Amino acid sequence: MVATKETEVFRKDAKQNGALLDSKQREKLLKPYLPTPPDPSRPASAHTPWQIRAFIKTQVFLLIFTTIHFLFSWFIRSRQWYHALRDRAFAILYYHHRAPELIRQDVRALSRIPEHLSVILELKGEERGSARLETLMDEVAEIAAWSASVGIPLLSIYEKTGILKGYIPTTHRTVSSKFHAYFGQKIPSLHMRAPNVPAFLNGGDFESADAQASSPGKDHLSILLLSAEDGRSTLVDLTKTLTEMSQRRKLSSDDISLDLIDAEISASVMGEPDLLILFSPNVQLQGYPPWQVRLTEIFHVADNSGVGYQVFLRALHSYAKAQMRFGR
């Protein structure tokens, strides 16, 4: 405790702005209450046990983190090398050489082929200008040629932005040109359309294309172009329409069923595809129509980042081996 007399002297000096005491007297007054200064001649004190335990704990955590990071990195690299070697082997053993006969030979042993094949493509962002669109159209043409060679009658192409819908005639010409590279002069008939957009058939006008494609022959391929607006927004619009019809008593609420919704969506967009192929390294549907993939077989190859025939062929083999258990 500070003595009362010393306290009074200190306060009087403070009130008089230091006129009562000089600096030495103030130091003498406060010296008994100051902590003892460290002795510079003494060695520094050793670390406490708590500091040692904290240091060891930090080093152990760092070692565990480094080990896990190394093992995970090694696993990812090994998986990438394995898939790269496997894809290269498939590309060498099953290269199509733009010959439909070789493609048919690759799938001859399969027990079934999908009637409706759907794929998800992306508009590449690393290219500039029209090169991005040309690359996308070339990918569509390659997949269409493979599908026509196998005998798949319906191919739906999903691209999120919907840029292909504005270039249906150009896309049709690109696919037809690819057909000539594969089939020569006798190419399959090609029918291309998009939801709420007139169809286009082998250079014919838009008005007569639907009528010509209503009864396709054996060598025929129908291509359906889809985008994000054909997904959830279609369900929302259909829900609003059914609600308004029910409120106006044009449709009873008891008549609204899954069969009705399925029929309306199939008529406005498309039916359920048998197989959906993703050419991306991860399963990302990117806004793909959700109603149509309830019973769809989805296939993708890990660490794959481009459209390749080996992915297409492996997807068909996987679909042929898949067991469809629909339940009750």
pLDDT in tens, 111-149: 999 999 999 998 876 655 578 899 999 999 999 999 999
Tokens of 139: 């990918």
Q: Is the pLDDT of residue 214 over 70?
A: no
Q: Is the pLDDT of residue 42 over 70?
A: no
Largest CA distance in the chain: 118
Q: Is the pLDDT of residue 213 over 80?
A: no
**CA atoms of 162 and 171, how far apart (whole Å):** 13
pLDDT digits (tens, 9 = 90+) for 161-195: 889 998 999 999 999 999 999 998 888 999 999 88
Report, as an integer, the average pLDDT of 271-300: 88
Report, as an integer, the average pLDDT of 214-224: 70
* pLDDT band, very low/low/confident/very high, at 211 (cuts 50, 70, 90): very low
Q: Is the pLDDT of residue 48 over 80?
A: no
Helix, strand, coil shares of the chain as percentages rounded to 5?
A: 55, 10, 35
**CA atoms of 224 and 37, how far apart (whole Å):** 86
In this prediction, what percent of the chain has a pLDDT beyond 70? 88
**CA neighbours closer than 13 Å in the CB half-sphere of residue 272:** 13
Contact (Cβ atoms closer than 8 angstroms) between residue 273 and residue 315? no
The whole-number pLDDT of residue 204 equals: 47
* pLDDT band, very low/low/confident/very high, at 202 (cuts 50, 70, 90): low
**Where does 26-172 show beta strands of DSSP type E?**
116-121, 154-159
* pLDDT band, very low/low/confident/very high, at 275 (cuts 50, 70, 90): very high
The whole-number pLDDT of residue 217 equals: 47
**More reliable by pLDDT, 320 or 198:** 320
How far the first Cα of the chain sits from its last, in Å, is: 88
3-class SS at 267? Answer: helix
The whole-number pLDDT of residue 47 equals: 61
Would you state the torsion angle of the CA atoms of residues 17, 22, 24, 26, taken in this order, to the nearest 10 degrees?
-30
The highest-confidence range among 5-14, 42-51, 227-236, 299-308, by mean pLDDT, is: 299-308
The whole-number pLDDT of residue 22 equals: 81
**CA neighbours closer than 13 Å in the CB half-sphere of residue 101:** 1
**More reliable by pLDDT, 45 or 210:** 45
The whole-number pLDDT of residue 12 equals: 82
The whole-number pLDDT of residue 126 equals: 60
Q: Is the pLDDT of residue 59 over 90?
A: yes
**More reliable by pLDDT, 100 or 5:** 100
**More reliable by pLDDT, 165 or 95:** 165
Q: Is the pLDDT of residue 60 over 50?
A: yes
Q: DSSP label at 309?
A: H
Q: Is the pLDDT of residue 302 over 80?
A: yes
* pLDDT band, very low/low/confident/very high, at 41 (cuts 50, 70, 90): low
The whole-number pLDDT of residue 71 equals: 94
Poorest-pLDDT segment among 6-10, 39-43, 70-74: 39-43
